[in-house]
Amino acid sequence: MNFIDQPINPLPYIRNDMQKSIVGIDISKKDFTVSLLREQKHSVRSFQNHREGYEKLLAWLKELQVTPDIFCMEATGSYGEALADFLYAHDHHVSVVNPFQIKSFAHTLLKRHKTDKVDCKVIAYYAERFEPAPYIPLDPNIKELRQLYRCALALNKHLTGFRNRLEHRDRLCDEVTACWDDMIAQAEQKLLVIQQRMTELVRISQSTQQDFDHLQTIPGIAKKTALALLAELPDITMFDNARQLAAFAGLTPRHCTSGTSLQRKARISKVGSATLRKALFLPAITAKNHNPVMKAFAQNLAEKGKPAKVIIAAIMRKLLHIVFAIIKHKIPFNPHFQLAN
């Protein structure tokens, strides 16, 4: 029998004295499977992934006379966001965890199978062991801003494809050329509408507008990047310091050395928000040339023999540190302060 299929807790370091009730949730597009873990025993049920299914989940728990201490699920984007918001609205402690953390934890359980039933048990064990931080829903305006920004990213990607198809316009028939021209025009128009709506959303909140203005005082960060950062940054209050935010973005070094045989060069972990890293890449290149703080920083790294990619990644991380300070303390960029620190 697989460890995870046993009715008792398989690992000695998981606290068996806890009497908490934990619900691990494995989310998919159409349904979700839950494991209620209490007194080291599992009760497993599946529900449809819509509001009626969410209501049935709470009804099932009420029938069992259980009020869970933690509901835990993986971050699966739109698949699980509605359920997390629903549970939060009903005053439950919900935790949304990076899937990589669950996957890594599953390896410690020697998990050989991957099914919905097994996965929700693993998630329940993870929540019992680590008590992950509670989920806090995004501000509705920031949530819309993020959706619009990601829609704009997708449209820009399609636009690049459309334009590439017209590189050899002279080889295409008139009908095909007209088709691609129309699609390009439509996409460009949609992007303008999205950009306008994003600007409107920023203006709704005085605090967000202030952050937007302050971000643009950083050399290398213009309007589009400021919007991207506001859309993709999590709630800054979640982090005690800028290093934690850099780790969230996957911009902290990942060292890989062991003994004398394994001596790889350190590189960024990339365990984090790829969209946030992408938003910082071009500004880092601009800042390297035009931001006095970053220019001095890059020159110092170059003198130490660091490769160009390492320097850009370091500038991205440094930019994120500055962004953290500006938003946390509600101040504009001050090059003299940054140089002194």
Residue 160 covered by a domain? yes
Range with the largest mean pLDDT of 7-11, 115-119, 133-137, 184-188: 184-188
pLDDT level of residue 90 (50, 70, 90 thresholds): very high
Do residues 64 and 174 share a domain?
no
| Chain segment 260-300, per-residue pLDDT in tens | 443 445 454 456 678 899 999 999 999 898 888 888 999 99
More confident residue, 312 or 111: 312
Do residues 246 and 308 share a domain?
yes
3-state secondary structure of 267: strand
Residue 242 covered by a domain? yes
pLDDT level of residue 219 (50, 70, 90 thresholds): confident
Do residues 119 and 29 share a domain?
yes
Q: Give the mean pLDDT of the chain.
A: 86
For the residues 194-223, what does the mean pLDDT come to? 94
Do residues 84 and 162 share a domain?
no
Report pLDDT for 338: 54
The residue ranges of DSSP E strands in 183-261, in sequence order, are 253-258
Do residues 21 and 105 share a domain?
yes
The residue ranges of DSSP E strands in the chain, in sequence order, are 22-27, 31-38, 41-48, 70-74, 94-97, 253-258, 262-268
Cα 88 off chain centre by: 19
Do residues 116 and 28 share a domain?
yes
Range of the domain at 149: 140-204
pLDDT level of residue 259 (50, 70, 90 thresholds): very low
Q: State the Cα–Cα distance between residues 326 and 331, nearest whole angstrom.
A: 5
Report pLDDT for 7: 39
Residue whose structure tokens are 């048990």? 121
Residue 209 covered by a domain? no
For the residues 91-102, what does the mean pLDDT come to? 90
Residue 148 covered by a domain? yes
Do residues 116 and 157 share a domain?
no
Do residues 103 and 200 share a domain?
no
| Chain segment 121-144, per-residue pLDDT in tens | 999 999 999 999 899 898 999 999
pLDDT level of residue 191 (50, 70, 90 thresholds): very high
Do residues 124 and 15 share a domain?
yes
Report the share of the chain in percent with pLDDT over 70: 87
Report pLDDT for 3: 37
Tokens of 41: 């025993």
Q: Per-residue pLDDT for 194 more than 80?
A: yes
Provide the residue count of the chain: 341
Residue whose structure tokens are 């504009």? 332
Question: Which range, of 88-97, 170-179, 250-259, 319-328, averages the lowest pLDDT?
Answer: 250-259
Do residues 146 and 115 share a domain?
no
Nearest CA among 328, 330, 299 for reference residue 315: 299
For the residues 220-232, what does the mean pLDDT come to? 93
Residue 287 covered by a domain? yes
pTM given for the model: 0.77
Q: Per-residue pLDDT for 12 more than 60?
A: no
Do residues 329 and 268 share a domain?
yes
Report pLDDT for 2: 41
Number of structural domains found in the chain: 3
Residue 7 covered by a domain? yes
For the residues 180-188, what does the mean pLDDT come to? 96
Please identify, among 130, 163, 195, the residue that sits at the C-terminal boundary of a domain.
130
Report pLDDT for 16: 47
Report pLDDT for 254: 52
The CATH number covering residue 28 comes to 3.30.420.40
Residue 223 covered by a domain? no
Q: State the Cα–Cα distance between residues 210 and 256, nearest whole angstrom.
A: 41
Report pLDDT for 126: 95
pLDDT level of residue 183 (50, 70, 90 thresholds): very high
Question: Which range, of 19-28, 161-170, 269-278, averages the lowest pLDDT?
Answer: 269-278
Do residues 22 and 80 share a domain?
yes
Residue 214 covered by a domain? no
3-state secondary structure of 14: coil
For the residues 97-122, what does the mean pLDDT come to? 84
